[in-house]
Amino acid sequence: GRPLGAIYGFLALLSGICDRVGPDAIVVGFDCRKRSVRRDRFPGYKAQRPDRDPMLLLQIRDLTCLLERLGIPVICPEGWEADDVLGSGAQAAEEAGWRCLLATSDRDAYALVSPTTTLLRLGSGLDSAREVTPAQVRRMVGVRTDQYTEFAALRGDSSDNLPGIPGIGAKRAAALLREYPTVAAAVDDPLGCSSVLGRPLGRALLDDMADPDNSVFHRNVALMTIRRDLLVDLEAGRPTATPDEVERHLLAWKLPTLVRRVTVALGTRPDLPPPPGDEHAPPG
């Protein structure tokens, strides 16, 4: 039969998150697999990453179908990434006066944390996940959330194959953005910038910023900036599947041990009794 491990794991994680926060609406985002606007702009973007396992891609396709049948919208924006769905969802929630929780393992989402948007930073499992607020980002990284993208652009991001300004790592980038609100403000004060970074690194940053067409910093900011203007319909994310529909779809996908967990998580039958046996074991 079809592999189900990733589907089971995702639904179990999603159910656990719903149990933890009791959301009014759920939206899921995946990267577009057909093309990448960021890679079009910079072919080296994520170029070091191996190709996705074809069986995993098959499960993501099947998971998308199953989620939609459960009434959970899945957004795979043409040319864009799951981060852009997160950013746009957070923006839509803020404009609607909602509080928002973003669940991801990607640290780029630190840039999205705000008084109304909390990050649930996923690790090896839900038990190790922690909620991250603006104050926690400041303590962990040393910069405000609205400075995070520029901080990352200076530092670089090896996981995305984006080197930063040579010699300016996380510590120096944070030090510079503690002294100045933006990198542009630092560059407007060459002596002060060199005082923070040291003369050679200060000169390197000034030289980089002086050539926008070839600037590492400007390239990184353009690639790291998360979109916030994609269409995300929060009302469409309100769970609508009935208990019978949840059960029918999960049984059709041979996921009987998830019926109760998903049904309770979606808030459609809180009094559903637990099934016999171990409901936490993934299908064989």
CATH of the domain at 185: 1.10.150
- Which residue, among 193, 117, 176, has the nearest Cα to 141 in the 3D structure? 176
Q: How far is CA 264 from the centre of its chain?
A: 25
Which pLDDT score, from 0 to 100, does residue 156 have? Answer: 97
58 falls within a domain: no
**Which residues constitute the domain of residue 191?**
145-224
Which pLDDT score, from 0 to 100, does residue 268 have? Answer: 55
281 falls within a domain: no
Q: Alpha helices of 132-198 — where are they, by DSSP H?
A: 134-141, 148-155, 170-179, 183-187, 190-197
DSSP state, residue 70: T
Which pLDDT score, from 0 to 100, does residue 111 have? Answer: 98
Rounded distance, CA 96 to CA 107, Å?
25
In three-state secondary structure terms, 100 is strand
23 falls within a domain: no
Rounded to the nearest 10 degrees, the angle between the axes of helix 148-155 and helix 170-179 is 140
Number of domains in the chain: 1
* DSSP H/E element including 157: strand 156-157
- 101 φ, ψ to 5°? -120, 125
201 falls within a domain: yes
170 falls within a domain: yes
Alpha-carbon dihedral angle through residues 101, 106, 110, 114, given to the nearest 10 degrees? -10
Rounded distance, CA 53 to CA 6, Å?
12
Positions in the chain whose pLDDT score sits under 70: 1, 268-284
Rounded distance, CA 274 to CA 260, Å?
7
CB 224 within 8 A of CB 149: yes
pTM score: 0.90
Rounded distance, CA 17 to CA 29, Å?
15
217 falls within a domain: yes
Which pLDDT score, from 0 to 100, does residue 272 have? Answer: 39
